[in-house]
Amino acid sequence: MSESEKYSQGYTIEAQDGDFLEAMEAAVDYRGDTTIEVKDGKVWDGYLFNYDEGEKALQVYPKDDPSIVAIPVTDVVKVSFTGKDTASGKSWEAWAKKKGEEREKIKAQEVDEDE
């Protein structure tokens, strides 16, 4: 299983798991929302975009809050990849294929009309 397949929507990791740090990196890189549970029971649902090395904290834009929230890594209990990965979309190739088919269709119609 590739990394992008492993760290996809629905994946959950807990702080005591062996590959927690690797999963944290993947979560920062993930282009969907995550849900982070911390020690005091609070749950943050939002976009995790950075690990602040100086403050050893995860930086999150909560879904319903305009400000950035910093969550100390040592407080994190569980992280879930809950949002859809927005980077896995329609490919340029699919668009080019569709356009190619359209052009072929137009050409075929033009040939028919000429005949």
The answer to whether residue 104 forms part of the interface with another protein (CB under 8 A) is no
Block residue for tokens 């609070």: 42
Block residue for tokens 């976009």: 47
Helix (H, G, I), strand (E, B) or coil at 1: coil
What are the residue ranges of helices labelled H in the chain?
3-6, 20-29, 92-114
- Residues 57-76 interacting with another protein (rule: CB under 8 A): 59, 61, 63-64, 66
The answer to whether residue 56 forms part of the interface with another protein (CB under 8 A) is no
The answer to whether residue 49 forms part of the interface with another protein (CB under 8 A) is yes
Residues that bind another protein (CB under 8 A): 28-29, 31-33, 46-47, 49-54, 59, 61, 63-64, 66, 83-84, 86-93, 95-96, 99
